[in-house]
Amino acid sequence: MILVTGATGALGTLIAELLADRDDVVLGTREPERVRVALPVRRIDFDDPRTLTDGFADADVLLLVSAGYGEDDTVIARHGAAIDAAEKTGVGHIVYTSLTADGDHLPYALPHRWTERRLRAGSANWTILRNGLYAELLGGLAAPGPDGRLTAPLGDGRLAAVARADLADAAATVALHAAAHAGRIYELVGEEAISGADLARAHGPATSYEPETLAQARKRLDASGAEPFQVPMLLGTYSAIAAGFMSRTGSELRQLLGKTPRRAMDVITHHIR
């Protein structure tokens, strides 16, 4: 049996949809009532370890979708509890959705690297999917104002953005054939690197790109009502892109899927229109 966590999140929902015709897949989420895919559902709450032992029972493969929305210590505690419970209940293989190696400069990288280390030291077989940043995220990070200017602290940097749907496809593929991917780490980034100017062009000829400073972006984010931990996460993402650390493209996603990945610019254009 394959158990997919985070089944009501954006990535988890796409994975669930890809596996909806299977009779050996169970979905896990803290909010079972929100699941819209016709698969069996178990209540699994990483913040309530009591739900994990029963939730993971009889699972052969655990597709552990990162519970990355939170402070580092919160995310580490969640992932640690999940892996402990998986090992205790005899899960044979854990597939984990991590973060691309080029993301080590990002503020939210540490829990991912901690989780990877915990998996390598554990008793279960494992596969690590180091996901690049979503094309949908990039489209949301930089939106034009009413004056037609797209202002963001991206400098001249580029991001090897990747479609969330392709990452879901990769995760489902690995989960279905987990034994063939045991002990593997995949770098799943896009095949083209997107700039701020590219984003402006996606909005149409009336939109121009104007870089801003991180200080300017911080003021804007502070005024937006974002959670306190979100501000440094977003600024760190901008900063890593602007500094050129997120531009390296790759072909492992294509190789894993056996087909051409979606073009990041096509995904962004669809997302913003």
Q: Which amino acid is at 103?
A: G
Tell me if 81 is assigned to some domain. yes
The residue segments making up the domain with residue 95 are 2-133+162-190+249-261
The CATH number of whichever domain residue 14 belongs to comes to 3.40.50.720
Distance (Å, rounded) from C-alpha 133 to C-alpha 103?
9
Provide the CB-side half-sphere exposure for 144 (13 A, CA). 19
* Position 202 in a domain: no
Task: Tell whether 147 is covered by a domain.
Answer: no
Q: Could you tell me which residues are beta bridge partners of residue 42?
A: 28
Confirm whether 32 is domain-assigned: yes
How confident is the model over 175-215, as pLDDT tens digits? 999 999 999 999 999 999 999 999 999 989 989 999 999 99
pLDDT in tens, 55-72: 999 999 999 999 977 889
The answer to pTM > 0.85 is: yes
Mean pLDDT value across residues 211-232: 91
In a domain, 222, yes or no: no
Separation CA 33–CA 36 (nearest Å): 8
Which tens digit of pLDDT belongs to each residue from 41-55? 999 999 998 999 999
> Does residue 156 lie in a domain region?
no
The pLDDT of 215-232, averaged and rounded, is: 90
- The CA angle 267-268-272, to the nearest 5 degrees, is 120
Residue 161's alpha-carbon distances to 46, 133, 167, 194, 220, in angstroms, are 28, 5, 11, 7, 24
Helix (H) or strand (E) holding 208: strand 208-211
